[in-house]
Amino acid sequence: MRLNGGSGPESCLSVQGFTCLIDGPFLMGKWERVPVICNPCTGQRLTLPKVKANNSDLRTFFGYDPINKQFKVLCMTVTNYRKQVNSKEHQVLTIGKGRLSWRKIKCLFAHYPERERDGICINGNLYYVARSDKTCLIVSFDVRSEEFGLINMPEGSELTNISALVNFKGKLCAVAYSGSHGELWVLDDTQKEKWSKHSFVSPNTDFEGVRSTWATNTGEIAWVISHWENPFYVFFYNLDSKSVRRVEITGIDDKVLKGIDRVISHLSVTSYVENVMIL
């Protein structure tokens, strides 16, 4: 896939084998920021229509409705007026046959999605970290009904900065880092909003600079550092044995990691599965 190099996040979640990111093509004499759907397996890239809004600061999330088998892109424009940050316009695009177009939808409560925080889609519900004034929130978006909701934070958690949302054995999980200490808050019951807490410590590395975090099918917490390093490592923490293992990734060409052709930024795509479907 060939991309122009947009200003998207350093990581993005894969939904049914597809990823959504912001690209920066040169259109009508200036650089634009447009959402692009990519399939790494087939190399397909689908450039979505430009979002017509009064503000170019976009927050984009990608979800899938397993009942109607539809992919949808949620896009919000964020304004900053006299230090009052808020999302003003909410638009949805359904990917399918026919002409692609954005539709405006309503949100009944004021909030704005945080920068460099990926959404995560679990069983047709899209979740993302947001703020209202200075309060940290977890917002839910039903991909099928296109309705917004709020997930109450766990009592006594004092979660003021969530590093990532992950799918922990089919459940929504909030991860928070502080130095070499990590906290894992798992939403065990979505109806009663019952949470459970797990703590973990990394003895050999600090969590500073970690941007990409996910959970494996076996329940391990995994993360990578935000910048390319040689050697390139992925870390896994086992909650049961309370142990960390470090896996070196080999086979990446040296010119990608250093020298004049060194990559300035990269995307870490988590929870990826191959899909040969063409959109």
Q: Is residue 172 part of a domain?
A: yes
Checking if the pLDDT of 196 tops 70, the result is yes
pLDDT digits (tens, 9 = 90+) for 107-156: 988 888 887 677 899 999 999 998 887 778 899 999 999 999 998 877 76
What DSSP string describes the chain?
---------SEEEEETTEEEEEE--EETTEE--EEEEEETTTTEEEEPPPP--S---EEEEEEEETTTTEEEEEEEEEEEETTEEEEEEEEEEEESSS----EEE--SS--EEPTT---EEETTEEEEEEEETTEEEEEEEETTTTEEEEEPPPTT-------EEEEETTEEEEEEEETTEEEEEEEEETTTTEEEEEEEE-SS---TTEEEEEE-TTS-EEEEESS--SSEEEEEEETTTTEEEEEEE----HHHHSSTT--S---EEES--------
Amino acid identity at 115: R
Question: Residue 129 is encoded by which pair of tokens?
Answer: 């970290």
The predicted structure's pLDDT at residue 228: 58
Cβ neighbours of residue 222 closer than 8 Å, sequence gap 6 or more: 213, 214, 215, 216, 234, 235, 236, 237
Taking alpha carbons only, the member of 248, 268, 264, 244 closest to residue 256 is 264
Is pLDDT larger for residue 260 or for residue 240?
Answer: 240
| Bridge partners of residue 119, in order along the sequence | none
| pLDDT level of residue 218 (50, 70, 90 thresholds) | confident
Q: Is residue 3 part of a domain?
A: no
Question: Residue 83 is encoded by which pair of tokens?
Answer: 């230090």
CB 202 within 8 A of CB 234: no
Mean of the pLDDT values across residues 5-31?
66
d(CA 111, CA 115): 13
Q: What is the CATH number of the domain that holds 239?
A: 2.120.10.80
Mean of the pLDDT values across residues 224-235?
70
**Rounded (5°) CA angle 165-166-170:** 130
Q: Is residue 137 part of a domain?
A: yes
pTM of the complete model beyond 0.75: yes
Q: How many domains does the chain have?
A: 1
Q: Is residue 277 part of a domain?
A: no
| pLDDT level of residue 91 (50, 70, 90 thresholds) | very high
User: Domain span at residue 104?
Assistant: 11-270
CB 60 within 8 A of CB 78: no
Mean of the pLDDT values across residues 169-196?
86
Q: Are strands 11-15 and 268-270 parallel, antiparallel or unpaired?
A: parallel
Amino acid identity at 139: V
d(CA 184, CA 199): 6
pLDDT digits (tens, 9 = 90+) for 154-172: 776 666 778 889 999 889 9
The predicted structure's pLDDT at residue 30: 61
| Mean predicted lDDT score pLDDT of the chain | 79
The predicted structure's pLDDT at residue 146: 96
Q: Is residue 208 part of a domain?
A: yes
d(CA 133, CA 112): 9
CB 213 within 8 A of CB 240: no
Question: Residue 60 is encoded by which pair of tokens?
Answer: 């984009």
Q: Is residue 202 part of a domain?
A: yes
Q: Is residue 2 part of a domain?
A: no
CB 186 within 8 A of CB 166: no
